[in-house]
Amino acid sequence: MNVLFTLEQLAALDVAPIKLDANRCVHARDRFSTCEACTGACPTNALHVNGSVTLDAEACIACRQCIHVCPTGVFDSNDNATELLAFAPRLKDARIVELACARHPAPESGPSETDAVVRIEGCLAALGPSVYLTLLASAIDHVVARLDACAECPIGAVRPKIEQTLDSAQTILNACREINRVTRLAERSGNDWIRRPLYARGTQVSRRDLFRRAIGEGQQHVARKLALDRPNDQADTPAEKSLPLERSRLLDALNRLSAVAAPANAEAPLEGLPFARLVADEKCSACGVCARVCPTGALELTIGEADSYRLTFSASHCTDCGICLHVCEPGVLRRESPTLAELFAAQPAVLRSGALRRCQKCGAKFAGEPTARLCPVCDFRRRNPFGTRLPPGFKPGIAPVAQ
Which residues, in sequence order, are CB contacts of 392 under 8 Å at separation 6+?
none
Residue 45 or 230, more confident? 45
pTM score: 0.79
Q: Residues 347, 353, 354, CA angle at the centre, nearest 5°?
A: 145
Question: Mean pLDDT in the chain?
Answer: 81
277-383 in CATH: which number? 3.30.70.20
Least confident of 138-142, 190-194, 212-216, 282-286: 212-216
The single-letter DSSP state of residue 374 is S
17-77 in CATH: which number? 3.30.70.20
Give the Cα separation of 239 and 242 in Å (integer).
5
Report the pLDDT value the prediction gives residue 207, as an integer from 0 to 100: 41
The single-letter DSSP state of residue 163 is H
The single-letter DSSP state of residue 274 is S
Q: Is the dihedral of CA 201, 204, 205, 208 positive or negative?
A: negative
Q: What is the pLDDT of residues 334-387, one digit of tens each?
A: 999 998 888 888 899 999 999 998 989 888 888 877 888 888 888 888 888 766
How far apart, in Å, are the Cα atoms of 284 and each of 322, 389, 391? Answer: 17, 21, 16
Tell me which range, 13-22, 42-51, 369-378, 379-388, is most confidently predicted by mean pLDDT: 42-51
pLDDT over 90 (residue 209):
no
Report the pLDDT value the prediction gives residue 187, as an integer from 0 to 100: 86
Residue 343 or 163, more confident? 163
Interval 191-219 mean pLDDT: 57
Predicted confidence band of residue 133 (pLDDT cuts 50, 70, 90): very high
What is the amino acid identity at position 294?
A: C
Report the pLDDT value the prediction gives residue 107, as an integer from 0 to 100: 93
Report the pLDDT value the prediction gives residue 218, as an integer from 0 to 100: 40
